[in-house]
Amino acid sequence: MINYPTKLEDWEGFEIERVSEVKVEQSLIDAWLEAVRDGNPLYWNEEVAKAIAGGIVAPTPSTLTYAATYRWSPRRPDEIWDVHGVESPAFRPAVRMPMETHFALKDSTGLKEGIVGGIDAEYYEPMRLGDRLTIVSRIVGIGELRTNKLGTGRNWTNEVRYTNQDGRLVSIERYKFFCYNRGA
């Protein structure tokens, strides 16, 4: 069970680390390629990919694909991720999402709505078939309460770092949010 901060000022720097339950695999790469119609042979052609990159690599912006988790897993049989609100209110497992800290902070502040104002991404080591990512999600900045046309809320930034099973940095993504409650 994760102990979330109880004071707003303690959220800045708060982080959650977990290992993905999903490995980088060709079928997920293929689904990504279909969705974005990307025919880059580095992602599907073994001969070309081996000659250029030492083997097939996953598209760099697809990190979220490999950070997925299952609602239930034999690796944690007593834990169910209740996305439908059918479990007992006393049962509150970790959200287990790439931006766990963002969703937990949203819940903690009572800010129901949210928009992404920007995403910055840095890519380092390519994701290769069989890689299993470790995801570290943390809040790196929280703004003051303010009101705009959307409502009253705060800006914050959620940083997500992905490393592979060898501890090599794969990518860093920073999501800039404005989370708010609509005006009456």
Predicted local confidence at residue 75, as pLDDT: 72
Give per-residue pLDDT as tens, 51-81: 999 999 999 999 988 887 766 677 767 766 5
Q: What's the pTM?
A: 0.85
Query: What is the DSSP track for 141-184?
Result: EEPPPEE-SSEEEEEEEEEEEEE-TTS-EEEEEEEEEEEEEE--
| Tokens 């994701």 found at | 127
Strand pairing class (132-142; 169-182): unpaired
Residues of the chain with pLDDT under 50: none
Fold of 8-72+95-182: Thiol Ester Dehydrase; Chain A (3.10.129)
Predicted local confidence at residue 69, as pLDDT: 74
Predicted local confidence at residue 37, as pLDDT: 94
Predicted local confidence at residue 85, as pLDDT: 57
